[in-house]
Amino acid sequence: MTLTQSPVVTADEQLTEALLSGTPCPPVRDVLGDDLASAYTVQELGIQRRTERGAMRVGRKVGLTSPAVQAQLGVDQPDFGVLLDEMQVPADGIVTGHRLIAPRIEAEIAFILAEDIDDPDPEKVRRAVDYAAPALEIVDSRISNWDIGIVDTVADNASSGLFVIGEQRAKLNEFVPADVTMAMTRNGEEASRGNGAACLGDPLNALVWVAQTAADLGRPLRAGEIILSGALGPMIPFLPNEPIEATITGLGTVRAVLNQEKP
């Protein structure tokens, strides 16, 4: 089999075309099977292509940490993706000029690291955190109709889209991530509710998991990186001109709105 005929290259080409065109592609598990390692290879190829065009790596996101979200998507384990600077929305949360296919939104905790994590021991991981902030992740799928399994979402950079980080900050000695509660509204009406325990039992468990996984893959977490913990509750559709606001106890509020303007 030639390189251009390999399943990894085929999946990469399909997802790249979907990202650039805004037209979703069929599930890449059709070509990758259940090969999770190949899915992460596809993910890295896509990230490398975007960094070659000028994007910068700024962190990682943990996905599929909430049982509610796992149930929504029919998967049974976490995954992770790479955050790029071009994915970050300003703190005002106004989303415009981005090509999105079928966006959904979820509330999370953002951990910002003060130290490299070469040894993902749980206590060392905790000490590496500079501060936390409230965050919204706008997830999107380049796979048609969100027809995804674990291989599809991993290859598709963990279904990453955009993210917003709120302006308030808290040190880990100022709040307990596992004990937070989250309420998310759309147009002022509650649309999702959850808590820290919904994220692998504790959002810090998600941070430890991605630190360990990233180290195993040879790309350990580095000082300055933003780590999105994973959802604290069910995600909801992110629709034009319907303001979203999430409040996380101990961390404050973060907002987003999808501007109707076309990219």
Q: What is the pLDDT of residues 13-54, one digit of tens each?
A: 999 999 999 999 999 999 999 898 999 999 999 999 999 999
Look at residue 2 in the predicted model and tell me its pLDDT.
Answer: 47
Q: Are 42 and 155 in contact (CB under 8 A)?
A: yes
Distance of CA 244 to the CA centre of its chain: 17
Alpha-carbon distances, residue 8 vs 28, 30, 151 (angstroms): 9, 11, 12
Query: Which runs of consecutive H residues, i.e. helices, occur in 66-198?
Result: 67-73, 122-127, 150-155
- Its pTM stands at 0.92
As given in the structure block, the two tokens for residue 155 are: 């290859």
C-beta separation of 103 from 233 below 8 A: no
Q: What are the residue ranges in the chain where pLDDT is below 70?
A: 1-5, 68-69, 72-75, 260-263
> Rounded CA gap, 72 and 87, in Å?
24
Mutual orientation of helices 36-52 and 7-21 as an angle, nearest 10°? 50
Residues 6+ apart with CB under 8 A from 2: none
DSSP annotation of 46 reads H
State the Cα–Cα distance between residues 10 and 133, nearest whole angstrom: 38
Q: Three-state DSSP class for 198?
A: helix
Q: Looking at residue 73, what is its pLDDT?
A: 63
The whole-angstrom separation of Cα 5 and Cα 91 is 43
pLDDT at 1: 41
Residues 103 and 237: beta-carbon distance below 8 Å: yes
pLDDT confidence of residue 5: 67
For residue 81, list its beta bridge partners: 61
